[in-house]
Amino acid sequence: MKMNRLRIAMIGFGNAGKAFARILLGKRQEILETMDYDVQIVAIATATRGNLSHEQGIDLEKILRELQSTGKFDRNGESYSSRTTAEIIEKTAYDVLMEITPLEIFSGQPAIDHIRQAFGRKKHVITANKGPIAWAFRELKNEAEKQGVYFFYETTVMDGTPVFNLMDETLPMCRVSEVTGILNSTTNFILEEISRGKTWDEAIAEGKRKGFVEADPSLDIEGWDAAAKTAALLNVFMEADIKPTEIKRQGIVHITREDIIDAKKRNRVIKLVCHGWRQKGHMIGEVAPREIKKDHIFAGMRGTSSILSLTTDLMGSITIMADNPKIEQTGYGLFSDTLRLIRKLK
């Protein structure tokens, strides 16, 4: 009997991509035995490490070792490719494009164009990039349906925590009317560290040392990342067609240690909260620091933890929490979307 193949072209191969590759290495045989699919990475495009392409599948163990030792792909390796990212998307033989390039917060590009190109070739798409969902979800969703392909994006808001799959797969005909969450790990960590006595600079430096605060954390502390996640949630759950620039946004840059101490005296904590709802036919989204009572579930979010509450018509309020997720959970989000795709194709 002919074996089924699922050929993946990865655009981007940062920490999330490497985490996905490690999971696939450990689970590939199990997928083959239980789902009758051989999942292979046939192309990888990166901005700085070089590009790879091999129609029979790239040796993942080998390239992960190369990146560990040299930080780039071996130009003399059998899989090394001179093709550009655009050429890989347009010319490589693959079944699903995995778009995991870094977020470009103010346009969602070039990730949106990468996805458009893949749909134009009738290829499925899995993405961890929230930009396309925040900026062009309706267009991309409609194009995927038109081309008869699948479009999955579980990892865009809460790493590998099932948010979109939860609604799609387990809550049929349930409608979301409001979303509320703490969805930016950087600001959550900084506010908590300041409450423990650190200065702003000390809190940011500690986050950088631990590896989850960017070299330039301005997109986080100014609320842009949270605004993109809010837009993504409203676009998917409430068909909002709203952009990050339309989210009322206030970051945490003006929050002082005195503000945090004062809130603490009143048994409250300050958190950067995302909120979206429909009011008189208009979609409203906002991101702002809020004082939260210490006995509220949101107040318990420590470190890089995140939480999301969905208000629904049939199931009331549903709350989902991720406890200090690591990059492995982001990789798992990509992996779970891959398994979901296989189930749809069977």
- Does the annotation flag 228 for ligand binding? no
Write the CA distances from 327 to 54, 125, 253, integer angstroms. 26, 21, 26
Q: Cβ(249)–Cβ(227) under 8 Å?
A: yes
Give Dmax (Cα) for the chain. Answer: 69
Cα–Cα distance, 35 to 39 (Å, whole number): 10
Q: Residue 39 — φ and ψ, nearest 5°?
A: -90, 125
Q: Does 12 appear as a known binding residue?
A: yes
The helix-helix angle for 130-147 and 111-120 (nearest 10°) equals: 10
- Residue 214 labeled ligand binder: yes
Q: Is 271 annotated as a binding residue?
A: no
DSSP string, 179-217: EEEE--HHHHHHHHHHHTT--HHHHHHHHHHHT-S-SST
Query: How far does CA 122 lie from the centroid of its chain?
Result: 23
Q: Which of 201, 175, 301 is nearest to 257 (CA)?
A: 201
**Any idea which residues carry the catalytic annotation?**
229
303 is in an annotated binding site: no
3-state secondary structure of 344: helix
Strands lying side by side in the sheet with 306-312: 248-249, 282-293, 268-279, 176-182, 306-312, 317-322
| Single-letter amino acid code for the residue at 248 | K
Residue 16 annotated as lining a ligand binding site: yes
* 184 known member of a binding site: no
CB contact set of 233 (below 8 Å; sequence gap of 6+):
157, 163, 179, 181, 274, 276, 308
Closest CA to 192 of 268, 302, 323, 305: 302
DSSP state of 130: H
8-state DSSP, 174: -
Task: Please check if 17 is assigned to a binding site.
Answer: yes
Q: What are the binding residues for NADP(+)?
A: 12-17
Q: What are the binding residues for L-homoserine?
A: 214
Q: What are the binding residues?
A: 12-17, 130, 214
Q: What are the binding residues for NADPH?
A: 130
